[in-house]
Structure 1
């Protein structure tokens, strides 16, 4: 194994050194409970939380009092959907989402259906984009929530968030977006984009695992998530993980500081990888929108082969990638996202997602292309499906 390339940054990222240093002091120096504000150790912990809150708020163009810290993106998604549903059930019982959401949204909607709520799951086109007219048509008098992810975790497609927000606002409907993959990769402005609720996670942007956040616009009616003490202004009880929250704030600070350079670099590497695969490997399908996609996302389906086989051979060559979202990579079922875009089961099974970081070089990209070329060629030589196709076309094997 000549290289070790981590190309699965959509699953999680390396914690940045600056973030680790920021967190360290809250393990062994300022370890007080932030609720114990009568002495210095508690005050220092409280200050760290409020500093992080301001860092996140500034990055989203939000007010500090609209930011709440959670245990991660899945918790934030659950809180947004359940909290709005139960708090507004006197107004209606209808939720609109899409077929390509993260399971934290889809399974939560399924759960709510047991309590009398109804969900419309919008179709997407071959690029994973929703149709805004179909969204408008799905709205009913009893619609209380629209939840549509900002950018897809598998295929990288970025939705027209501002237009969705405008539609929701015009109809007096609360708009939530899962921005776990988008944070740090696109410019988010919750005011301009008419976003009422936004989920985020630290470990996707070089922060620690186990901490995330939610933006809740002032005035949005939503149930409290965890009952107990008065933490997070009474909405989410439990002693705060100060070191994780401080790390989240630092990761956001770095993302804002390096944003333009970071996006330009990732986009350059992404396009190099896309072009390299298209040029060197036949019978491939680029999944996701060709331009309206995350700057670090490359997702292809390779016909006649299985994604699991590709991953095993990539690992032998030192390359870490994914055959779907991180939460479902152990499943043998085809990706629900790829099926929603219209791919058949066989093609969907042969999908691989590469997600790039700024640590990757042009040489790494070229190595990945060459490795993929060899792997796909090897697997297709053994593929009964590919060989049958060649026989039907009259090609020699």
Structure 2
């Protein structure tokens, strides 16, 4: 195949892979920008519930006290999860629902004080951050929406690779950062498009790939439940459900003893997606910035509090755990968030300029055809 034919093929791939996914990528970039600052946005909107000031070294309340207070606050509901956010040792989030298997969109979160055990409040369940997150993750279409956005992400990666093939040789002929301002609007925007595309190349690839991985989270979680988790809880398969729940404090103490150097990230109560009908699944995490997103599940018998089994998560679940904070720039505090936001804005310019260049090219081709038709004696076959 000649080099000219190869160029046309790659140009066709780049053009159409970009155009097909551009509208959805614009949605993802526009919603993703405020989500980079989701914690700060919650603070600004008054949705963040903070614990009151107390003397340093105030001891933590028993976990069972937190659970009892949450049940009293939401009578008739069960606790699905108890969650500790990184850097917020004074509070814990307890997720309650009518049933253990209630869909996450129909649950309610409570913020509790880990020192007093009391409920501090109930944050809004359908606020701005929730709407932005749903638009960004599944467009309010559930799993089909997630998989569709994952496919758009794959097209985005294809457009990045094909763009490097098409425009890489062109960029080598220009000084880096050169904008041909005297060559007309279309060429000027082409140079801006290529420059920003080159400057954001690594970032958009990382965000695109991690975004695709995140859209597969539900599928990969189901695979883990049907594979590793099913093996871990197999001895309990034919046993009746527990008649009472063991102490959370005893259960967590046993989990800590089995995982030295790790702290609880969240507890999945019996019957939820991360556990079985007979277990507390206590997910332990590392206590450093680099290991805080690496989890290890510890299964504890929900009736006796006795440790039953613990295994490293399979690679595909670990990939999701690593991909999500990297996708949103949630690894190194505000400096990384600001960098992510700047690169997000640059990507919006790349996407918008790409659409403009496509329409400008079509308009230029149409004008050329009109000029050909306008020439005297032009054969009728030329159309």
TM over 0.5: no
Greater RCO, CA 8 A, separation 6+:
1
Between Structure 1 and Structure 2, the one with more helix by share is 2
Taking structure 2 as the reference length, the TM-score comes to: 0.29
